[in-house]
Chain A
């Protein structure tokens, strides 16, 4: 994101001052040695220069973070983590908990198989280590810089060469933030031919202005394979921004299924770079935007190597005064001959006053490519409703069946063993009755 021309506005000045103040208050408690403090200060300066993103930035066309009164909030206090979230996954798993940006639970190293490491970010920032560097160089997005300046903690995960981690790694990330903000920062590295299933369960809870950012950098070595499931939900007072980057080496595979519900603003932005020949990614998202909530998915798929494949499916349901946004940007470098990319966005408006925006963008510099995209926005199909009712199924049940079917086409992208849990979560969080109103 490029810096906007400096505006003389007092608001900008106030934002800068406020952010500086928040940082000076927080700085002493932020983990990391002097070297890290410098990195944070530089990141903060970049945020102050560019301001928070808003309507004037193409990538934030529909979701105005600058307009949300989230600037200069104090950092949230550490809290104890609620554990009920664990019920969302029935399989055996390695559990990590993050609450208000701090890791509160992490597997003891002895419980993990050799070659599988899960570390706290806060424990690793005292001395500069080379392997951390890529995750501390911000991608350039304002949110990433903000996150880097304030990040309190996160997890660093490494799966060694050729290793398959049998049980999923489950990261429970909860933020309870009225009038405060939290920032966590994590990285996942899969070495050559390694395999992992990552399940993130994120909840942001706030009754008034609050901002949570969660940064996740994923790096997949040659032939590595990551299944990444993400369940996110937020309340109306919370702005939750999940900022991700994924780098795939040759033959690597990234499968992502995201189910998201609401929040004042739930923004999921990801930059996926298919950097090695034959790399593949399959992203499937389903979201629900109840009244007063807004979900914004902005995903860039960057084909930088030959014969790379990407699939993006985004399905959203918006209720009255709910808003959904899907921005899918596909970039195909000149070197990426034989690229095969397809994106499809489907939106379902449940009532008058619901809004859904789809913005596909293609930037293609290679000539031998297959790039398709499609978008639909509709209400529930009355002929389908009548068909079900004409067989004796009452209207409310018929509607639930059609909504479930709509979402199930997303959960079907997850591995068999997880589909039932995902559908159960979706039924509870995406299709709950209040979400229809």
Chain B
């Protein structure tokens, strides 16, 4: 297993949010976690990425044999975990291209690798941004400043493409996107599917799964996974709503 979550309990503030979540993801697999508002979807993604403000009160998370929860956020990134955020942050004064370069170099240093030379780096950024229909001007602007919702999500996918994570966590990547933007973003993600790369998609709606086909679908309710299945589970959720499924489970 690449990612192994066992009986994970976590608080946000003093409130228990995750209450015994167990999930395993193998290389190359695409998992979708669906659930109603307040079920703990975003908490799960934040705890995995190492965002401050959460307290793990029980359970373990093992990533490629290492104790993920003991690693600071930057080490998790260098170890191949990437969180595409629901609300990408604006950083005035830092251009996307410099941000990407700093990230690539920092990850290389943390892994004890050589930093890629500038020419190679710039060529890769050009290739990847063109696939996402992003202009040169966009990557020279401050990170996400003045970007539309769709542009911010494309910028997340661009970062993912450059950083080549082993596990990409997509937190509500479809939220705020119109259908055209969703197609571009989903196309970018699909292009990154690979036998050594796993995805954990967190979403409220089935819509995203029409464009990125999952291998497994899990339903999260009240901080734990209540049922799991294949893509057909997502379609059942769409038809019956969370209430029916969560109650049956």
Question: A residues near B, CB below 8 A?
Answer: 381-384, 386-395, 397-398, 401-402, 404-406, 408-409
Contacts and interface: CB of A to CB of B under 8 A. Distances in A.
Interface stretch (B83-91, B120-128, B132-140): B83-91
A213 B103 CA distance: 45
Interface string B107-118: 100100000000
B58 interface: no
B102 A386 contact: no
A405 B91 contact: yes
Nearest to B77: A392
Nearest to A397: B106
Contacts of B51: 386, 390
A382 B110 CA distance: 22
Nearest to A403: B93
Contact of A390 (B73, B92, B93, B143): B73
Contacts of B182: none
B99 A391 contact: yes
Contacts of A392: 74, 77-78, 103-104, 106-107, 110, 163
A416 B111 CA distance: 37
A390 B103 CA distance: 9
B124 to A, nearest CB: 15
A288 to B, nearest CB: 16
A382 B83 CA distance: 16
B85 A387 contact: yes
B52 interface: yes
A391 B49 CA distance: 10
A386 B78 CA distance: 14
Most buried by B among A393, A395, A409: A393
B150 interface: no
Contact of A391 (B92, B142, B159): B159
Contacts of B103: 388, 391-393
Size category of the binding interface on chain B:
20 to 34
Contacts of A386: 51-52, 73, 89
B91 A390 contact: no
Most buried by B among A388, A395, A402, A406: A388
Interface in B54-96: 72-74, 76-78, 82-83, 85, 88-89, 91-94
A398 B50 CA distance: 15
9 contacts: A386-B73, A387-B91, A391-B107, A392-B106, A393-B102, A393-B103, A394-B72, A397-B102, A405-B92
Nearest to B104: A392
B52 A382 contact: yes
Given A386-B52, A388-B99, A393 B74 contact: yes
A388 B103 CA distance: 8
B107 to A, nearest CB: 4
Nearest to A389: B73
Given A382-B52, A397-B106, A402-B94, A389 B77 contact: yes
A390 B49 contact: yes
A409 B142 CA distance: 11
B163 A391 contact: yes
Nearest to B144: A387
Nearest to A382: B52
B99 A384 contact: no
Contact of A383 (B72, B89, B94, B102): B89
A327 B10 CA distance: 46
Contacts of B143: 387
A388 to B, nearest CB: 7
A223 B102 CA distance: 44
Nearest to B92: A405
A389 B85 CA distance: 13
B189 to A, nearest CB: 17
B93 A395 contact: no
Given A386-B52, A391-B77, A405 B83 contact: no
B149 to A, nearest CB: 16
A393 B163 CA distance: 12
Contact of A401 (B49, B77, B78, B94): B94
Contacts of A395: 72, 74
A82 B92 CA distance: 38
A401 B89 CA distance: 15
Contacts of A401: 94, 99, 102
Given A382-B52, A386-B52, A404-B93, A393 B106 contact: yes
B94 A394 contact: no
Contact of B89 (A384, A394, A408): A384
Nearest to B98: A401
Given A387-B88, A392-B163, 5 more contacts: A388-B103, A389-B72, A391-B106, A392-B74, A392-B78
